[in-house]
Amino acid sequence: MPGRVVDPQRRQELLESGAIFTAQRTVRGDSVSHDHRLKFDGVARYLQDAGQDHLLHIGHEDIHPHWVVRRTVIEILAGGEQPDVLNVERWGSKLGSRWCNVRIDLDGQRGTRIETEAFWINFNVKTVTPSALSESFVNTVGSAAEPGVLRWKQWLDPAPHPDAFEVPFLLRAADLDIIQHVNNAVYWTALEEVLATAPDLREQLPLRGVVEHNSPLQIEDAPRLLAHRKGATLYAWLVTGDRTAAAMSVEALPEKSA
């Protein structure tokens, strides 16, 4: 994943323009597991909050109010001591005409280190199609992005492995968001359920989780959660009928230098 802007003068310019957004989040008890691990679904909620706050900060909450996430990558590099206070930094790392990659890093005051990146599509709910990014958004958020045009490339196979096993999972009415779709963080809850089947893996750090959304879920879909382990990687799928709504994975990573 592309790193942060470190040049002091350039960084200050991007902070003043709103291209880089910073905030703090206090980790609460519902985001921490019984063994004091910051959970993936807790991180996903922090990412959503930071996204809404960033749009509000740059005055685009009404210009681009609706976004659909296509893929999120969360790398938990160090668990820290929980509950922690997280310093959040968010910026656009690459843009296309209707979508963008967004980086969010979370650094805890008590040792938590997390790096994330998500592929977000600007969405028109009336036409149910991707919508062009405004010039003002491109000029602001795009000023921190890498050069070049962002294009979508799928990472995970949407077809479940033939030997995949089923993990108990149930959607609830409380999992639906404002447009009656399953909230993004719920997919990470499903991945946590899969990770619970591999205690040796869930206790390792660093860990990388990936969720790729292929189609929306609604509560009447009653999806099945399937999983398959290959070495140090767990793969998972949320399927309804012959449709895979999301493909997911979690894997152990080699340690990164600070």
Q: How many domains does the chain have?
A: 2
Percent of the chain residues topping a pLDDT of 70: 99
Q: What are the structure tokens assigned to 208, written together?
A: 């990388």
Based on the fold, state whether residues 12 and 120 are members of the same structural domain: yes
Nearest by Cα to 88 from 72, 102, 71, 106: 106
Average pLDDT over residues 76-84: 94
Tell me the residue range of the domain where 41 lies.
Answer: 1-149
The residues, ordered by sequence, that sit 6+ positions from 53 with a Cβ below 8 Å of its Cβ are: 21, 23
Looking at residue 128, what is its pLDDT?
A: 84
pLDDT tens figures, 104-153: 999 999 999 999 999 999 998 888 899 999 999 999 999 999 999 999 99
pLDDT tens figures, 179-227: 777 899 999 999 999 999 999 998 889 999 999 999 989 889 999 999 9
Based on the fold, state whether residues 55 and 124 are members of the same structural domain: yes
pLDDT tens figures, 221-249: 999 999 999 999 999 999 999 999 999 99
Residue 201: CATH number of its domain? 3.10.129.10
Peptide bond into 83 cis (omega under 30): yes
Whether 258 shows a pLDDT value over 70: the answer reads: no
Whether 90 shows a pLDDT value over 70: the answer reads: yes
Based on the fold, state whether residues 14 and 139 are members of the same structural domain: yes
Based on the fold, state whether residues 139 and 179 are members of the same structural domain: no
- The residue among 149, 165, 187 that closes a domain is 149
